[in-house]
Amino acid sequence: MYHLRIVAPPERSEETLDLLKSSPSVCNVIFLEGVAQEPRGDVILADVAREDASVIISDLRELRLEKEGSIALESIETALSEGAEKAEKAAKGAPSDAVIWEQVEFRTSEEAKLSASYLTFIVLATLIAAVGLLLDSPILIVGAMVVGPEFGPIAGFCVAIVEKRRSLALRSFVALAVGFPTAIAITYVAGLLFKEGGATPESFSFDESTFAHAISSPGFFAFFVAFCAGVAGMLSLTTAKSGALIGVLISVTTIPAAAAISLAAAYQDGDALTGSIAQLAVNLTMILAAGVATLSIQRWLYARRRRDHLREGAARRAAGLPVGRSRDAPKSEPV
């Protein structure tokens, strides 16, 4: 279940209440008249089944509540209520498979920004990965994968492509285009210092190091694993199975590949440098392709659910919204 907190101008409150009370997947509707101070208006609280959260929010947005008031959404961890059980049964599908698009859009918009913390994390992750490659330590390499923040802008870019949002695509691209070169450059300098200072093992080479050799020699399975990880990562981001995201981060070698590029340049190993660049390109390309494909399917399924919701129309009719189409769509064009 998800909890809705709505601030509605007085002239929209009746429509909003009619919409919520007439929706079978909504329960625990509470009306607090005139309590909102900024913006001024009424506060309406309600709980909605996760499966129908996006379609209900879409109806609320048609009432212009986001422009004249506000809509807030938060997850309910535990709900002990027969009404909540009935609401969940009324919503078709499994809660864990439902996608709340407004939440996905907000989350990816936040994580796709180039910031000081993002640059710090990607640099630190790449430095840790470089040490892991030098010491041939799987623990350090896995740790670097978990620390790496690169999946945020990758996911943001996927969402931007599917939803045709140029501003989000630009922010995501800038985060990736600045983040990886910065991390590689700093790690390259660190690699030179390690090498000249005698901190690295004298016997280190890409051919003799198990992990460094594997990362700098991409093959079929590099494509396969990156594609699978892209699908799993997008599913974990868009559904209730967010715990799987850590496993996704561990399975993708973007950060280790960036570290391998730095070390290959520092050790002047041309073959390893070419292979590491290819590994990074393969991972980024396949994750993006898998993410876009996954989101496109999920968006198509949501569009079908939204069309069914528009056609059913009982709650929309109660709120004075058109049946069979969105208020924002032309009258001759169903959504």
pLDDT of residue 102: 86
- Residues ≥6 apart with Cβ < 8 Å to 67: none
Q: Which amino acid is at 122?
A: I
**Residue 47 forms beta bridges with which residues?**
3, 27
Euclidean distance between CA atoms 15 and 317, whole angstroms: 10
- pLDDT score, position 334: 38
Between CA 258 and CA 191 the distance in angstroms is 12
| Domain over 2-96 is classified CATH 3.30.1300 | no
pTM for this prediction:
0.82
CA distances (Å), origin 214, targets 3, 113, 206: 47, 31, 9
Domain ranges of the chain: 2-96, 104-299
Q: What pLDDT shows up at residue 57?
A: 92
Check: CB of residue 102 under 8 Å from CB of residue 109: no
pLDDT at 259: 94
Give the per-residue pLDDT at 295: 92
Distance CA 105, CA 107 (A): 6
Query: What would the two tokens of residue 48 be?
Result: 């909605």
Specify the pLDDT at position 218: 86
Q: What pLDDT digit, counting tens, does each position of 218-251 carry?
A: 888 888 988 988 888 888 888 766 554 555 565 5
Q: How big is the chain, counted in residues?
A: 335
Q: Which two tokens stand for residue 250?
A: 């561990």
Q: What does the DSSP 8-state code read for residue 150?
A: T
**Amino acid type, 236:** S
For the chain, which residues score pLDDT lower than 50?
244, 330-335
Residue 20 buriedness (CB in 10 A; 0-12 / 13-18 / 19+)? buried
Contacts of 290 (CB under 8 A, 6+ apart): 226, 227, 228, 229, 230, 231, 234
3-state secondary structure of 329: coil
Angle at 261 between CA 255 and CA 267, to 5 degrees: 135
